[in-house]
Amino acid sequence: MNPFDFATAANINDAIARAGAGGSMYLAGGTNLVDLMKLGVALPSHVVDIKQLPLRGIWTDAFGLHIGALEKMADVQANPLVKAYPVLAQALNGASPQLRNMATIGGNLLQRTRCNYFRDTAMPCNKRSPGSGCPAINGENRAHAILGGSDFCVATHASDFAVALVALGAQLALADATFSRTLPLVALYRLPGSTPQLENTLLPGELISAVLVPPLPWATRSTYLKLRDRRSYGFALASAAVAADLATDGTIRDVRVAVGGVATVPWRAYTVENALRGQPLQQSVVDTAAQQVVVGARPLAQNRFKVALVQRVISRALLSLGGTNG
């Protein structure tokens, strides 16, 4: 492990001031950062422990559901206010109980890719070492992205919860040394382009303080469906977070769709949503709309199956909301 300085933040301003220096990283649950430090992938010169900061709490008000960034995944999943959004509670079920008892919400949203090339320092990786190349493009790429990739990186984003939050239009409350701001979660993540080492739009030292899910009463009719190689705690090969507002005759008045496991960022499927609004929730309509998600997809040699798989997971998730298969 690379040598580093360690400090515990006394308050939010202290944390931001300490993390503003180059080479600094925040430590919360540590389930991702400590792992990457042991592998030699993350090499911070300064680690700022923020576990004691007052960034907790789960509550609702006129602006929606608020979740503190330091809330543990297990506590969020079990909270009755969160259970009112089935898609959120289900998306938090992907990790083992041990990890969910340690990992924080803010850390979950910022977790790094599970690409084996990224995690192996003996291999080139543009995300870890810019300009060194992306061996996944012509190598082992079964688990990699078909959407949002580039000639520099095709690694998938790992967070299930981020996919569910993106579907519901969640916002982030952010703070840095001079001001606070809100940011749509979908705008946090950068497509790799030619600079895959730049993964998000946070400013230096900026801190996620809370997640805000805007009021969406019909999100009680929602679900998160995840397909993976094994039943227990595997990362998604394809997943879909969906919520729908259905009329009494089954017409889709409004709908939200996002997918994971197939893209370099949590992927909001706006074209699928547009194709569904005003249509009946039935097999033929949903299957046709789901085709829109793969327009522009760039499958690789070993992951072409994801083109059909992501369409099927969208269809299956949506049809489950109406209790019908057509």
324 confidence band (pLDDT: 50, 70, 90): very low
Please report the pLDDT score of residue 105 as a whole number. 97
92-112 pLDDT, tens digit each: 987 778 888 999 999 999 999
Would you give the distance in Å from CA 161 to the centre of its chain? 5
pLDDT score, position 229? 86
Residue found by looking up tokens 């299957």 in the block: 287
The confidence score (pLDDT) of residue 20 equals: 78
At 221, list the tokens.
């009719």
Residue 255 in 3-state DSSP?
strand
* Closest C-alpha among 40, 70, 49 to residue 58: 70
DSSP H or E run through 174? strand 171-175
Is residue 73 a contact partner of residue 105, using CB atoms and an 8 Å limit? yes
At residue 233 the predicted structure's pLDDT band, cuts being 50, 70 and 90, is low
H-run or E-run covering 211: strand 207-213
pLDDT for position 110: 96
pLDDT confidence of residue 275: 98
Whole-angstrom distance, CA of residue 125 vs CA of residue 144 = 14
pLDDT at 231: 67
Per residue in 54-107, pLDDT (tens digit) is: 999 999 999 999 999 999 999 999 999 999 999 999 999 877 788 889 999 999
pLDDT for 323 beyond 90: no
222-322 fold: Enolase-like; domain 1 (3.30.390)
Highest mean pLDDT among 13-27, 139-153, 216-230: 139-153
Asked which of 21-30, 36-45, 138-147 is least confident by mean pLDDT, the reply is 21-30
| Amino acid 325: pLDDT | 36
Cβ proximity of 281 and 324 under 8 Å: yes
pLDDT greater than 70 at residue 326 = no
In the chain, which residues fall in CATH 3.30.43.10? 1-52
In the chain, DSSP finds a helix count (H) and a strand count (E) of 12, 12
H or E element at residue 261: none
Check pLDDT > 60 for residue 301. yes
Q: What is the pLDDT of residues 186-196, one digit of tens each?
A: 999 999 999 99
The structure tokens listed for 293 are: 């998600």
CA distance 316 to 310: 10
* pLDDT surpasses 70 at 287: yes
* Confidence bin at 232 (pLDDT 50/70/90): low
Structure tokens at 216: 């969406």
Instruction: Write out the residue limits of the CATH 3.30.390.50 domain(s) in the chain.
Output: 222-322
More confident residue, 167 or 205: 167
Q: Is 107 exposed, middle or buried (0-12, 13-18, 19+ CB in 10 A)?
A: buried
Per the structure block, which two tokens stand in for 242? 């969906």
In sequence order, which residues have a C-beta less than 8 Å from that of residue 231 and are 6 or more positions away? Answer: none
Query: Mean pLDDT over all residues of the chain?
Result: 94
Rounded to an integer, the average pLDDT of 112-128 is: 97
- Which pair of structure tokens corresponds to residue 262? 């197939």
State what percent of residues in the chain have pLDDT above 70: 98
Best CATH choice for the domain 1-52 from the list 3.40.1280.10, 3.30.43.10, 3.40.720.10, 1.10.630.10: 3.30.43.10
Q: Is the pLDDT of residue 279 over 50?
A: yes
Paired with 48 in beta bridges are: 7, 26
For residue 192, how many other CB atoms are within 10 A of its CB?
23
